[in-house]
A and B are shown apart, each in its own frame.
Chain A
Amino acid sequence: MPELLMVNNLKTQFNTEGGVVKAVDGISYHIDEQEIIGLVGESGCGKSVSQLSVMQLIFPPGKIVGGEVIFEGRDLLKFEAHGPEMRSVRGAKIAMIFQEPMTSLNPVLTINQQLTEMLELHLGMSRQDARERAIELLGMVGIPDARSRIDDYPHQFSGGMRQRVMIAMALSCNPRILIADEPTTAVDVTTQAELLELMKDMVEQSSASLIIVTHNLGVVARYAQRIYIMYAGRIVEAGTTEDIFGDPRHPYTIGLLQCIPRLDEEKGRKLVPIEGLPPNLINMPPTCAFLPRCSDKSERCSQEPWPPLKHLQGQHYIACHNSY
């Protein structure tokens, strides 16, 4: 499968009063056509900022300071954030579903106004055609009685329904890539399962690719084909889902897998927590950011800078001095 999106050495920083926060510190990843990948990490690891950077949705004090985002042969970072080229990509060819369905819909506009805006803008549809298409889309994402509900306001929908509207909106212009940023953290488990299945089906139907950004290892185990594990602004391990779960190599990945209880395990296992706290991203030392919490460190770790990703085999990469 050819590469659809290629991100090279992307860096995004925030200039705060306390210093420079390197939220995304040189990450590279790619997604192929019709692929589902997972981007996993804890809060503050830069997973959302990296996706917002791809869409050029970073606002001051944030700044994309380096790297390239190659999509359809062009580097998106060369375009003006508010220019026509970026506008024709954002929302139309690369669409995004945000974490909070409550805050990402405009409360004073009807669902119809919000859905048809995209269709009129990107696809040049007439108002009437756009409305018909919007009703069709709402039906596709499983909103019952879409024709009578399209003129409702967001507050008239439940959380799960609002997230369905978001999915309909994101898919309205047949994007090549759908980025789902923690799409299910605000909803219940059964709704979560339903929404993820819906997203997967919709993406498969339109032969698009899906990037799932999440902290939930279970979700990526279920849906993703390849996984990137992020820590403190960098990718620390990458591989196929089988690599990551069957043969995890980075101490952080191993730690993450050991610290969550599993539904199917024998009762009585003691959880192994990762000691310490995620680092403060201001004024980070050049050494590996996971070093203070690492259970498998050597002398080399405190002397040499954070290692780049190195190739193990197949598609499996890790950034660690010790595991090989």
Chain B
Amino acid sequence: MDLQRDEVILDIKDLKMYFPVTRGLLRRKVADVKAVDGVTFTLKRGETLGLVGETGCGKTTIGRCILRLYQPTAGQIWFEGDEISSLPEKTMKHIRCNMALIFQDPYSSLDPRQSAGSIVGEPLKIHHWAGSRSEYNDRVEQLFRLVGLDPSMMDRFPHEFSGGQRQRIGVARALACEPSLIVCDEPISALDVSIQAQIINLLEELQAGLKGLTYLFIAHDLSVVRHISDRVAVMYLGRIVEITQSQTLYENPLHPYTMALLSAVPIADPFVEKRRERIILKGEVPSPLNPPPGCSFHPRCPQAIPECSQVVPPLRDVGSGHQVACIRV
């Protein structure tokens, strides 16, 4: 069992995803939006890795590259021992059986004209998962129970469900073909505060129950990411600036951006808040169309020195798996 725990399920090496910007009648390429610009990380079986960052930092793009919804510009994606970044679509379809995606918006990610049962069952049909009609029905029923929905609601349509219930349908659909990796792309940000905890707990219970289920949990809410993840990767402008155990993230952040991000999240406790130091970042996130030279965070960094604008800091290990990309650490 321990051996399995250490098995690397996903290994991303120097992943790049550039979106071309075209102009004019001939759609001439004039520039690249460097959404993901050299990202490397690994994910072990049964682990949850949190990916945090602000809008436009490329976290969703990474998730989509892993499922090959985008064709990466460069880099390698090793999934369960196969290099999948350039596999043909036909082979990719089989591989996708083992990965799934949970979307942010439980309203637009479910087809309003399909019943809940057929939404959950669709992956089973696509991947010919069930041998017979009764096997299919049993599986859909089982999935409904698994996510805490009453199977009698199978014939209802998405609009008849609340936001939290819809997200449960999305989770059931993701689980349909027993994937080993689920990319959760902001799965709770569209939900009400009191409902968020229900979905977080559901995801945690599923992972505890289904051995080896691995999550890549993408979100902008640091406290949620820290709660659910074993490790957290912080992204800024297409690059990972820090990866660490989620326990040490709050106690010992090393990258100035991580520190600023942490201090920007208010804690629901006025007694703690009074003692906290606040780092207020000046300016805005630069455009990924034209990122600053060197460390892309240097124009906003409170600790920047002249060298920061000259070298791109590599992500390096500073002990016990804590990686940081800053020359001042």
Contact = CB atoms under 8 A, between A and B. Distances in A.
A160 B284 contact: yes
Contact of A267 (B198, B224, B247, B267): B247
A221 B273 contact: yes
Interface of A: 42-43, 158, 160-161, 188-194, 197, 215-219, 221-222, 241-242, 245-246, 255-257, 259-264, 267, 269-275, 277-278
Interface in B221-271: 221-224, 226-228, 246-247, 250, 260-271
A42 B194 contact: yes
Contacts of A275: 198
Contacts of B31: none
Given A197-B278, A261-B226, A218 B268 contact: yes
Q: List the 3 closest A-B pairs by CB distance, nearest first.
A: A218-B266, A261-B227, A273-B197
Contacts, number: 126
Contacts of A191: 54, 284
Nearest to B276: A222
B280 A193 contact: yes
15 contacts: A42-B192, A161-B284, A188-B54, A188-B220, A189-B265, A193-B281, A218-B267, A222-B273, A246-B270, A257-B268, A261-B200, A261-B224, A263-B226, A277-B162, A277-B164
Contact of B262 (A216, A261, A263): A263
Given A255-B194, A267-B246, 7 more contacts: A42-B193, A197-B278, A221-B266, A261-B200, A267-B227, A272-B197, A275-B198
Contact of B220 (A189, A194, A221, A274): A189
A259 B194 contact: yes
A262 B269 contact: yes
B201 A271 contact: yes
B283 to A, nearest CB: 8
Interface of B: 54-55, 162, 164, 192-198, 200-201, 204, 220-224, 226-228, 246-247, 250, 260-273, 278, 280-282, 284-285
Contacts of A262: 223, 267-269
Contacts of B194: 42, 255-256, 259, 273-274, 278
A153 B69 CA distance: 35
